[in-house]
Structure 1
Amino acid sequence: MKNGLLLLCALCLFIAGYPQDIDSPAPLLSPPEYPAAVVPESELNLPVQVDLAPFFALANKKVDTLFTSPRFPNDWVQQGCDTRYKYSFRRGPLQFSLKNTTLDIAFTGYYKIIGSTRACVNGKAVTPWTPACQCGVDEGERKVKVGFTIAISMLTNYTIKMQVTRKEPEPVDKCAVCFWGQDITPVIMDALKKELDGSKADLEKSYGRVDLKPHFQTLWNQLNAPYNINNMGWLQINPQKIRINSIQAAGSQLQINVGLAAKPVVRFEKPATAIAPVPHISNFSRNRGFQVYADLVMNYDSLSRILTSQIAGKEFTFSKAFIKKRFIFLECKLLGSRDNRLVMQVKFTGSNDGTFYVTGKPLYYADTKTLQVADVDFDIQSRNALLKTADWLFSKKITGEIEKMARYDLNQLLSTARTNMNQQLNRQFMKGISGSGSVRDIRVAGIFPQSGWLAVRAYCDGDFSLKVAALNL
């Protein structure tokens, strides 16, 4: 009997020490929760250039190059009984000058006049007409400075209003005809004013109001479209409101500085293009720069490789019923999320080979920019399975080592994201629309475990401008 008991004890010790595989069932992963970010309203600076060259060309066409008295040179203009004349006026090239919202159109005019006189009594001629006298014919044409002033404004419905004012002609050379040495320059200037007033009316009729709303609607649609950002997803500007900050001029370009209230976001999946009518120009408070949420991706495979490289080979020794148990980490792999906790698969060797699963809570520490998987504990299914086969594995040493090693420095991730965003902000988004800006600050706003990756939501702020190439009138 004594020998039988010894044999039974030896058999138990043999069975207890015999290595056997320990595999606990994998936990069911939860559907990923991915809350939408409450995007703050940002302000983007949007310099829009309006090309005035077509207007300049039209002005050259609308302002006549030649003014003459009726049916010149055959017929006369007669004022009263004693004087008659006929004239010709031609203009030089138009010169355009833009300053703020005022456009000056100036040119030099060249004129000549032929006239004669006779004696009259009580409105009746008593002598024949004298031989015709000339001014600006043999000695060269007389000069006069002429111009228009155009005040430019923009209405809330995207209509550019141009109010044209004729300047008073300024004669450079006076014209004294031979009969009595009479200065008839004022007579010529009055006739010229009537001709210029006709040109002014033509300009206001053609370009007094220019509707830019179709152009702004096209621009609005383009800003609502998603744009691919390399390695980061899809950027959507999401414009909300428009304000006119200022109107300036340079060369032939009218620059309208538009303040754009927007809610830009970066998404993993390509969003649908939003269709909305462009709102009227409004007033709203100014915000400095832009704020945007960008969701960065950390793949579980790369995170698992980092963790495994740090923990593989770590060994612990435990005692169970006077038997030494060795535990050696082989691999630690991140799988996904369950109830907003990261699920990790742990493969081990030693006294036994096997697999179990633990969960942990992803936490971010802003002071060190570190992601830590904290509160690591055995998954409930692994716990139940190990209670039946290998309860000796329940040790704070194991979960503590995983928690110690499951630490990730996000400095490089955020720095790379900042570099990528700066590169993507300073480029041409589409023909005629190019961006310019920089990210001042980027910081983590949330960690969201997904099915195949860990989403790191970054909050960025900086400055950004969109330059729109010239819109033709």
Structure 2
Amino acid sequence: MKNRFLLLCMLCLAITVHSQVIDPPTPVLSLPAYPAAVIPESELNIPVQVDLAPFFAMANKKVDTLFTSPRFPDDWVQQGCDTRYKYSFRRGPLQFSLKNTTLDISFMGYYKIIGSTRACVNGKAVTPWTPACQCGFEEGERKVKVGFSIAISLLTNYTVKMQITRKEPEPLDKCTVCFWGQDITPVIISALKKELDVSKADLEKSYGRVDLKPHFQTLWNQLNTPYNVNNMGWLQINPQKIRINSIQTVNNQLQISVGLAAKPVVRFEKPSALITPVPHASNFSRNQGFQVYADLVMNYDSLSRILTAQIAGKEFTFSKAFIKKRFIFRECKLLGSRDNRLVMQVKFTGTNDGTFYVTGKPLYYANTRTLQVTDVDFDIQSQNALLKTADWLFSKKITSEIEKMAKYDLTELLSTARSNINQQLNRQFIKGITGSGNIKDISVAGIFPQSGWLAVRAYGDGDFLLKVAGLDL
């Protein structure tokens, strides 16, 4: 009878304990701590191509096609009392030759001259003018090679400076007229130089200095503009400084190699476009390669589903006062963080039904590309509730199982991030500005629990080239 009474008491106690629902208060979550990335300066190489065709066209307009003596063919040019002449000079097509930073403009000139002479004494004519003699008519126009040399440089304020030098005309044919019986080519060349100097002055006035700063400001603004990376976030190049590496000419283009120091980052939320003036070009140390930080999102709901799928139904048996206790995982849900530790809600059934909360530290293992919640322990309020109602649940077996299952392979996430960033780098930003780059590898630089997601700060390095073409002078 006594044994029956004891058994009945134990049964009643078991029923009473089973009927108790364990429901400790939810931990107070910390405000999300999300430090700004300490981003090193990256080196971007930008070949800027400036089309020189407009300059060539302008040069063709500015350099006259026909030079003549004043009021040719009606009036004469008279040097002293005894000589008079008049001439016509026409130029052939301009030929452009580029080498390094020097532009040569040359053309073939064709001229003809008519003149006559008379005898003079003390500056007074004593005979009439002889019949006019000519050169370059019947035997064909006389030829002379003419040209300009233009030294091109880029100043730190993005002004293209063109220093124009007139070359000495090079006569290919001599011109001898009957009335002199001597070579009068130097007379023609002297007159030609004066005309060419006028053309040189016109070129310098129009193109001696060309301001490219508005173009560089447009480029600077575009690099500060955020671009969506396949809904992964917003890429912003964040330019810092500009360096002019080299300047040269190729074919019909002025090619400027620009080094850009930048701090590129991909953010969750769209940042505002920065409006800052483009700084003057400066010298700064070269950093090889390109680095980008990307803040990736791992949604708590998705992580919770993965963890629940792995742990739901796991059962443990405990003994308490010779009575077997059953614990069965129903659900494990990530909520947020407190004191830089992830907070998880665990729902269970078995001998008791209810909920408790655990915390753990998220760690990333680079060798396996795995995120794991480690050092899992009961939240302090859950500890108190369990100790009062079901202290047998306060077990390392449970927390160890959670730690074992709270493991996430980030290989696919990082691979997708790398693919998305590469796709965004290799595209046309605006007309005439095209990117070409490759993120070689991507790794995790930090894990930051937020209110509704786990922030994974990824770091990638590689090469990036930004090509700017079609800027006109």
Give 3-state SS (helix, strand or coil) of 2:59's partner. helix
On the 8 A contact 2:102/2:149 being kept in 1, the answer is yes
On the 8 A contact 1:17/1:323 being kept in 2, the answer is no
1:335 aligned residue? 335
How many matched pairs? Answer: 473
Query: Which amino acid in structure 2 is aligned with residue 310 of structure 1?
Result: Q
- The runs of 5 or more residues in structure 1 that have no matched partner are none
For the pair 1:60 / 2:60, whether they are aligned, the reply is yes
1:199 aligned residue? 199
For the pair 1:352 / 2:352, whether they are aligned, the reply is yes
- The runs of 5 or more residues in structure 2 that have no matched partner are none
Give 3-state SS (helix, strand or coil) of 2:177's partner. coil
2:37 aligned residue? 37
For the pair 1:115 / 2:98, whether they are aligned, the reply is no
1:9 aligned residue? 9
CA distance in 1, matches of 2:20, 2:304: 26
Structure 1 residues 70 and 3, CA gap change in structure 2 (3 angstroms)? closer
2:237 aligned residue? 237
Give 3-state SS (helix, strand or coil) of 1:50's partner. strand
Query: Which amino acid in structure 2 is aligned with residue 212 of structure 1?
Result: L
Q: Which moved more, 1:404-413 or 1:183-192?
A: 404-413
TM-score where L is the length of structure 1:
0.95
On the 8 A contact 1:422/1:439 being kept in 2, the answer is yes
Deviation at residue 10 of structure 1 after TM alignment: 5.0
CA distance in 1, matches of 2:23, 2:281: 66
CA distance in 2, matches of 1:462, 1:3: 78
CA displacement 1:155-198 (0-9 Å, x = unmatched): 12221111100011112222122235322111111110110011
Structure 1 residues 180 and 397, CA gap change in structure 2 (3 angstroms)? same
Structure 1 residues 415 and 10, CA gap change in structure 2 (3 angstroms)? closer
Coordinate RMSD, CA, aligned:
1.9
Deviation at residue 246 of structure 1 after TM alignment: 0.5
1:392 aligned residue? 392
- What does 1:396-411 correspond to in 2, within 5 Å? 396-411=396-411
Deviation at residue 396 of structure 1 after TM alignment: 0.9
Q: Percent of aligned pairs with the same residue?
A: 86
Deviation at residue 348 of structure 1 after TM alignment: 2.0
CA distance in 2, matches of 1:292, 1:60: 47
Deviation at residue 241 of structure 1 after TM alignment: 1.3
On the 8 A contact 2:359/2:376 being kept in 1, the answer is yes
Deviation at residue 258 of structure 1 after TM alignment: 1.1
CA distance in 2, matches of 1:17, 1:164: 99
1:136 aligned residue? 136
On the 8 A contact 1:118/1:128 being kept in 2, the answer is yes
1:424 aligned residue? 424
CA distance in 1, matches of 2:467, 2:334: 44
Query: Which amino acid in structure 1 is aligned with residue 44 of structure 2?
Result: L
CA distance in 2, matches of 1:62, 1:282: 35
- What does 1:2-401 correspond to in 2, within 5 Å? 2=2, 5-6=5-6, 8-16=8-16, 18=18, 20-401=20-401
2:459 aligned residue? 459
On the 8 A contact 2:422/2:437 being kept in 1, the answer is yes
Q: Which moved more, 1:276-285 or 1:145-154?
A: 276-285
Give 3-state SS (helix, strand or coil) of 2:150's partner. strand
Give 3-state SS (helix, strand or coil) of 2:182's partner. coil
CA distance in 1, matches of 2:290, 2:411: 22
CA distance in 2, matches of 1:197, 1:49: 30
Query: Which amino acid in structure 2 is aligned with residue 52 of structure 1?
Result: L
On the 8 A contact 2:17/2:389 being kept in 1, the answer is no
Q: Which moved more, 1:428-437 or 1:192-201?
A: 428-437
CA distance in 2, matches of 1:447, 1:278: 35
Deviation at residue 224 of structure 1 after TM alignment: 1.9
